[in-house]
Structure 1
Amino acid sequence: MLKKIAHALTRRPKLVVFIAVLLMIPSFIGAAATKVNYDLLTYLPPETNSSKGEKLLEEPFHNAATSMLIVQNMPPAYTNNLRKSIEKIPGVTHALWISSMAGIQVPKDMIPEKIRKAFYSGNSTMMVIQFQSPGASEETMQAIQKIRTTCNKNCMLAGAAGIDKDTKDLLDQELPQYILLAIILSLIAMSFSMNSWLLPVTFLLDIGMAVVYNFGTNFFLGQISYITMAIAGILQLGVTMDYSIFLYNRYKEEQQNYDDNKDAMAVAIQAAFASLSGSSLTTIAGFAALCFMRLLLGRDIGIVMAKGVVLGVLTVVLVLPSLLLLFDKPIAKYQHKVLLPDCTNVNRFIVKHRKAFVALFILLFIPSFYAQKNAPQYYKLDLAMPQDMPSIVATNKLRNDYDMATTHFAIVHDSIGNQKIKQMTDAIEKVDGVENTLSYNQLVSSDIPDFFVPQDVKDIFKKGGMQIIMINSHYAAASSEVGNQLTELTKLVQSYDKGAYLTGEAAMTDDLITTSETDFHVTNYISMAAILIIVALVFKSLTVPIVLVLAIELAIFINEGVPYFTNVAIPFIAPTIIGCVQLGATVDYAILMTTRFREELQKGNKREDAIVIAATTSDDSIIASSLVLFCATLGVGIVSKMKIISTICLMLARGAVISALITIFVLPAILYVCEPIFAHTSLWWRKPKPRKQTLGRHAAQPADKCNLSE
């Protein structure tokens, strides 16, 4: 079957490319129709109390997001008219200001102190704006844009919803730069390791199609996170480029055996499919491990990237052969010398001083493991954004002028009675770090019957048999102080109402911290276990997978430990992503060298000669592969103003280099020393497995990168 498909693909290369280009049209449409989520807190597990509370804010209160509008140096009449205009904007449910409760003619001094302190600070006043849809929704972002257009230059919009909007605008601005830099730097990297100027361009055309197909099929997921949107394309480029190199190298080998290039390509396709379907398993396993995170962001990234690897393999097997056949003559015409060094003498030096390198390998584990465990992290999401963004500037002003670092929302049942709600509110205000509270009972006297209260005022705080109490806190989200405060508030609120919920940015961030700490360990264990099993099956060995995974784990520890020595905090999600992706994407370097080492032993070479040959022949591929991943991610890491994306990309770039260095300079010594152990714990290590009688001269396959089909 595969032979027939390969033959058919190579007979009509123009038709294959034409169909591939046509398939990009629905992919572009699907990519454009895929929603992007800019609020990472929405990826919390739905069973957490803060997530359940958020659902109640959405329904029945229609208060899925809240922003604070600061109006400076403007008369009350302007603010009152502004409130009325904002309430008419689609997507806004309520705009709460002093004029919602009393006439603007009432002197400020006549307003109760608690309410006055909540809404005024110096020459500015604050308006609370509630939105019907979540902060990252298109409806709320359009509403925020209209609010900003409606306001004059003396107004500032603070809060998470505004940050989501500014994040979207910044990503829309930076995304073309990411793509352009990844293409340019990857071309430069491939030019060093390939002998033709046009070959890298051909590879990028093929991978570009795979990236478009991947983003187009994201439509069936409904939405993807902005982090996935930013890094998926460049990461797919970095980890799947090897597959193109493998097919091309195999094609050049087969050209020596066939007069017709189409026949040579047909044989190369068969060999490539068998090898790449296995080679990609380790990379897919690394991404798939992210799907086991309780934080649903992991599943978002994992599915998109695992799908991208599968599509990368398919385009290499189905589309790239036709591109290579069409551009065969220009590729051969514009050739140059490969600019990679000969590492033979280096590898002889490593083998000669193997004890020192093995000792270095063992010793590096201790400081790198400690540094990785103690690297500083941050969970406060606004720290990952440029501090000059309008929403960040406004949020900082809100924190400084109104002493509001964050706002909690307590949701309680009406049935507990007004007296208990008042007692609870008074108790809340005595909790350390609470600046003030805002509730229905504070705005409306208990002596006034409900039917006298305007419905729009009542709906802000009371609906569906429940009430909202806004709690403004001195403490910033993700701080240890706010964590203790939330614990105390939760106990207090639930002592009055066992069915009460506490939510808001700080509460959700607190759940995010708890969830992420568990996710880091679970995903790393799963990715390691999956790759250990895959490598064990590849080599029919109990010890080879342990050595190879340990080598890459050392590289991961060093990579994740760098922030400890530089004292630079990294975003909470970075270690989990790096741990899975770096292991899955770069363990292929170690597999490549080990496969060639085993092959040379099976040819009858001595251990020392076998490892020198294996290392020397593998080094070029390892350098080329790591350079592409390094360059594809480095550019984004440098130019991105969003620290969460910049940090992940810089760590991926650094991880590719560190994995390559460990594989090139340390692994040969380890393989040499451990070879006797491999021989006793592996099947067919020194002698090849007896093969069935071959049918022709092309039945035997030379060892190539990650030939997992062996």
Structure 2
Amino acid sequence: MYQFGRWVSKHRVLVMVIAIILAIPSIFGLGYTRTNYDILAYLPDDAESVQGLKVMDQAFGSTGIGMLVFENVPDKEIDKVVEKIKQVDGVGSVLWLRDLVDNVIPVEMLPDDLAEMVYRGEDTLIVINLEGSTAEDRTLAAVNSIEQIVDESKHEYKFSGLSPVISDMIDVANSEKGLYILLAVVLSTIVLAFALKSVFIPVIFLIGIGFGILYNMGTNYFLGEISYITKAIAAVLQLGVTMDFSIFLFHRYEEERESYDHIEAMARAIKYTATSVSAAALTTVASFLALISMKLTLGQDIGIVMAKGVLLGVICTLTILPSLILIFDPLIHRFQHKTILPEFDKFSDMITKKPIIMVLIGLMLVIPAVYGQIHTEVYYKVDRGLPQDMKSIVALNEMKDVYDMQATHLVAINENVSESDTKEMINRIKKVPGVNWIIGYEDIVGPMLPKEMLPEEAKEVFFNGGYERVFINSSYAVATDEVAKQMKEIRDIMREYDKDAYMTGEASLTNDLISISDIDFKNVNILSVLIVLVIIAISFKSISLPIILVGVIELAISCNMGIPAYTGTVICFISSIVIGCVQLGSTVDYAILLTSRFKEELATTEDKKEAMRIALSSTAKSIVTSALSFFGATVGVAMISRIDIISSLTGMMARGALISMAMILCILPSVLLICEPLIRKTTFKWCEN
């Protein structure tokens, strides 16, 4: 690695030229990487609701539903708008009562159940079947076209559904995404400017890390698409995680500069940095890759992108950053000032004086932390984490009030099931608690119009691809125990008539999401811990150290996860699954840094308290700087994002960095001191360099 370091140092200009050339295709890759805004699209293919979704797609060409409600508009005027909507590319069909029942028949003469489905006070309901997946470009373009058509009609309306909600969410995300990285850069720069002696070095760090972020985001093009969650957090998370490596390299370079010229000093700094950060980088990568084990493929999305980001960050730290430091070395050393971070000598004396006190404090935190983590509530409903003033969310809430429309189930049964059996099935489903109304051929059209006389366009709404489609409106909210019980009852009834019948829709998809997420939470956390334990065990050649280091960080994670239970905050389910891996992976290097220095000092002194005092005072400033930088990179996003999934996740990351920092500076040294005799017996060559 030393020869590699000398080559980079001597050819620093060439390295920067190559870096800039590689940035060009990365910019194009960044621009052409598609973003997926539909979380439910990440459900596994073997989920029952997803299988139902595929059947609906194949049979009817669509599963997306848009609910359009006109306010105080005559049916004849609605007819004109409906005809225009039917021509929109991406609209499969429009379910409008007056396509089946002529306008000459007044509302008062319609069956009460039928009239109540469509007419409520001054409101009139139309159901629009959207082709393609919920967040597909064509579907979202159709949503925009529908809104434009209705806007041009000058009629008052409400339009909602998953696709309209996602369309509005994209507008919100696009308005904020530039601010995420801007705030991360500004806050990280402020932290580094105060924590480091050079005013100019923070800029160098951010440029070096910026290349890594650009390469990472650009190479996402080869993944086809990434989720909006990944897109929102990847850059700031990569900035926070890889900042540690940059700080370590620069500190080592400054140390070597005292004895060698700048070329030799940087070559040695690259050598020692590569050796020192390899274990930390490996554990971080492994923690992120543990997310790949999730059945919810959103974990694969986040895991691959972040693991790739850390690897690219390490490469840039060993190539681009050294080149930048050498090129701008005169400026770096010209503009210097005193750091505001104190020396940690007195703090180190206090922590190492009576280690048993800090260990007892740590033990006292275990019960409330674990209790809080167990009792932290999570939500799964997509619209709950979105700004409630979004047009589609306002419309959705008003529809819930007027039509008692909480969820819509889509049922597909075999077309060969007899009309009488289907009618009987529908009547039984109507009696299931929470079912408001059902739209099916036998229930609406059957009594009024024989199937043979049904217009082809209207027939395709109900019959296609060998299946009959039935719409069921529920008064129970998505992601509740009530709707789960209701869906089970409906499913049991329909399978008495057709054992291969399918049910899907937002409530069904979310129900599968809940079941899968519960499994993912357990599996991901267990796997990430096991992987990190193995890596630390191999790195330190120890049995006890991995348990101690991971145990302290897991306590920090439990504290972080438990806080919402005491503040009464309900967090997004994604945060509960991902935060454990992210916090473990992004802060375990603090623990490794402190432990490595403690081991190094024990090789020169038999006084373990003195060894820990030196180790803690020497590494505390780097750990605090890294943690505060990570905090600055993430807290800004948490403060400004109006999308709760993003603000909740980044907020917990920011808080987790501070909690891990406190645990590693206060609890870990005391645990290492007390357990040192055990560590000595269970670690190969513990007191040797």
TM-score range, shorter chain: over 0.9
Point out the more displaced range, 17-26 or 237-246: 17-26
Match of 2:133 in 1: 134
Return the match for 1:238 from 237, 240, 251: 240
Q: CA deviation at 1:274?
A: 3.1
Check whether the contact 2:280–2:589 (CA below 8 A) recurs between aligned residues.
yes
Match of 2:175 in 1: 173
Match of 1:223 in 2: 225
| 1:219-298 mapped onto 2 (5 Å cutoff) | 219-259=221-261, 261-298=262-299
Matched residue type, 2:630: L
CA deviations over 1:82-139 (Å, ceiling 9, x no partner) = 1111111111111211222122232111222222111111101011011111121111
Match of 1:101 in 2: 100
Check whether the contact 1:376–1:568 (CA below 8 A) recurs between aligned residues.
yes
Matched residue type, 1:255: R
Match of 1:154 in 2: 156
Q: CA deviation at 1:312?
A: 0.5
Matched residue type, 2:29: G
Check whether the contact 1:135–1:160 (CA below 8 A) recurs between aligned residues.
yes
CA deviations over 1:152-190 (Å, ceiling 9, x no partner) = 361111111111111111100010111111110000111
Match of 2:417 in 1: 416
Match of 1:560 in 2: 561
Distance 1:37 1:180 in 2: 23
CA deviations over 1:196-238 (Å, ceiling 9, x no partner) = 1110101101111111111111111111111111111100100
Matched residue type, 1:569: V
Q: CA deviation at 1:268?
A: 2.4
CA deviations over 1:653-704 (Å, ceiling 9, x no partner) = 000000000111111111111101101111111234xxxxxxxxxxxxxxxx
CA deviations over 1:467-491 (Å, ceiling 9, x no partner) = 1110000001001111111111111
Check whether the contact 1:225–1:300 (CA below 8 A) recurs between aligned residues.
yes
Q: Is 1:85 the equivalent of 2:84?
A: yes
Check whether the contact 2:280–2:588 (CA below 8 A) recurs between aligned residues.
no
Q: Is 1:57 the equivalent of 2:59?
A: no
Distance 2:385 2:583 in 1: 22
Check whether the contact 1:439–1:461 (CA below 8 A) recurs between aligned residues.
yes
Q: CA deviation at 1:357?
A: 1.2
Distance 1:586 1:471 in 2: 48
Alpha-carbon RMSD across the aligned residues, in angstroms, is 1.4
Match of 1:615 in 2: 616
Q: Is 1:198 the equivalent of 2:197?
A: no
Q: Secondary structure at the match of 2:25?
A: helix
Check whether the contact 1:98–1:104 (CA below 8 A) recurs between aligned residues.
no
Distance 1:411 1:243 in 2: 55
Unpaired runs of 5+ in structure 1? 689-710
CA deviations over 1:12-62 (Å, ceiling 9, x no partner) = 322321221221121111111111111101111110110011112221211
CA deviations over 1:309-365 (Å, ceiling 9, x no partner) = 011011111211111111111111111112211222222222222222111111211
Q: Secondary structure at the match of 1:577?
A: helix
Point out the more displaced range, 247-256 or 442-451: 442-451
Q: CA deviation at 1:419?
A: 1.3
Match of 2:8 in 1: 9
Size of the alignment, in residue pairs?
686
Match of 2:634 in 1: 633
Match of 1:208 in 2: 210
TM norm structure 2: 0.98
| 1:471-486 mapped onto 2 (5 Å cutoff) | 471-486=472-487
| 1:178-577 mapped onto 2 (5 Å cutoff) | 178-259=180-261, 261-445=262-446, 450-577=451-578
Change (3 A) 1:491 1:643: same
Q: Secondary structure at the match of 2:416?
A: helix
Matched residue type, 1:91: G
Distance 1:438 1:568 in 2: 38
Check whether the contact 1:37–1:226 (CA below 8 A) recurs between aligned residues.
yes
Distance 1:346 1:546 in 2: 25
Q: CA deviation at 1:376?
A: 1.2
Q: Secondary structure at the match of 1:295?
A: coil
Distance 1:182 1:517 in 2: 32
Distance 2:18 2:495 in 1: 62
Distance 1:79 1:376 in 2: 44
Check whether the contact 2:280–2:592 (CA below 8 A) recurs between aligned residues.
no
Distance 1:204 1:394 in 2: 43
Point out the more displaced range, 478-487 or 342-351: 342-351
Distance 1:518 1:596 in 2: 38
Matched residue type, 1:89: V
TM norm structure 1: 0.95
Q: Secondary structure at the match of 2:49?
A: helix
Distance 2:163 2:12 in 1: 50
| 1:637-652 mapped onto 2 (5 Å cutoff) | 637-652=638-653
Check whether the contact 1:634–1:649 (CA below 8 A) recurs between aligned residues.
yes
> Identity over aligned residues, as a percent?
41
Change (3 A) 1:335 1:609: same
Distance 1:668 1:365 in 2: 17
Distance 2:575 2:109 in 1: 52
Q: CA deviation at 1:445?
A: 2.1
Q: Secondary structure at the match of 1:467?
A: strand
Check whether the contact 1:80–1:104 (CA below 8 A) recurs between aligned residues.
no
Distance 1:22 1:96 in 2: 54
Match of 1:678 in 2: 679
Q: CA deviation at 1:64?
A: 2.8
CA deviations over 1:550-591 (Å, ceiling 9, x no partner) = 100110000000011011100111111111110111111111
CA deviations over 1:433-489 (Å, ceiling 9, x no partner) = 000000122232268554432111111111111011100000010011111111111
Q: Secondary structure at the match of 1:151?
A: helix
Distance 1:456 1:532 in 2: 62
Q: Secondary structure at the match of 2:310?
A: helix
Match of 1:603 in 2: 604
Matched residue type, 1:25: I
Check whether the contact 1:83–1:96 (CA below 8 A) recurs between aligned residues.
no
Matched residue type, 1:560: M
Check whether the contact 2:294–2:524 (CA below 8 A) recurs between aligned residues.
yes
